[in-house]
Chain A
């Protein structure tokens, strides 16, 4: 296995140039630069809001210095609240090339697009010079989420991902699972898997926080399609979702943008701290994928029953389909057919092994279905977090 070596020592499995708009007002210009760019490795991300927000800055810093990212062009309107100087400094400090264009100082739309294309050409040339070096599977970070879950997800795809996670953790890779709101009802059994009792207490508290938060929102993390697919309650969906975590010990509890430094299994607490102030914790699956990537994930295992088609900017998404009927209907979008499990044609561990092999192949450059189809979904909105508690990342093993 080989990876792209970055100046900060991290290794990537893709070699992406990001064009990042820092407010919706700069979105069109940034998109035009990406669309007109001749390279497939130039991707668009951005933040829509005009008000500053510590969380979105932290996530942007995590994304723009991600190991899959070779360089960044930031596109600012000029008067927005986003702290572009800090983002630029963070990217520079990571050794990656970064350019900033301010539309109000660059002569408007046409001139900024022209200047942006020039900058992107230079960034692509510099990315092509990045050295490929040996990369061990222990250096890989893998996230998992589920989307469009149904009554088959918890039987087929999620336990198969759990099996794959167990194997990756044996290899000393980092694995991250998340959505404490989709673990409501599992907090006790999950806490028992923590490597220290204090971490277990933190895990319990994170799920209690999620329950309170979602109760206030008036909805659980439960979509109409979940019910149409046979799931009835939040805790039923949770038990299925929980199976993605496999059976390894839980080594830590992180918040979005925190990057684990040691191999092991980590739970990401995605529910904001304090009184609810910006709405739902994550408005859609893609926002969860973005947080996983900001915490360093090189790729994401996405399980689905109803059938999601999304991919992501920056890091490949491997889609694992639990429902055999959905697989047949949407096979162009699915990487792994976990519907074989519920049909009795394959075991959980066989499909888990298949996912593990695909993780290695995708890490070596094989395109996933969503990559081939050009999916580069990206969502980043306002949130508010406090730092993690002292017991969340125990150093004892």
Chain B
């Protein structure tokens, strides 16, 4: 299918002797938002790390825009237009807010995102532009992490548990910005513990269980029963 943007075939991943992913198959179309849900340790973050190129010893194939990216280094994959908002935000502590954003855009890929448009999306960041990133609140740090990924003007953006550890009101604020974030033609993978959040924002959903795809379906037609069965394997 020409619309297939990301195609993952038979992906395995290991941490030393521990196998975290078993033969995962997955596809994301151009402009599509896909949610990945699952319990702790189901392999969600590992999946995003594999796609980003941070898991060196995996096997299987990952195609991104018709290029085989399995085996490429993370920095090579970044050049192709793939950005990750990592779990736990992971800002650069010795860089200021603005420097964190600038380094996100250092590849200078063309697109709508630059310092101005990120500041327009999250005005608070413009006020704190010269603060060290460590001085910000959790929610503000998450905005920097999202802004840093946007600055790359990616074709695929991946969010890893962006609501983790944030107050509900902040989560609402951040999620309300997501539709703006995922603009025209940009695809997204959203890893989320909060199932209803994940379903409301995505068009399709994958559920991982112990490193395997246990369920796949459309976000608006999938049933709660099917999810809980896939989630807990009962």
A joins B in a complex = no
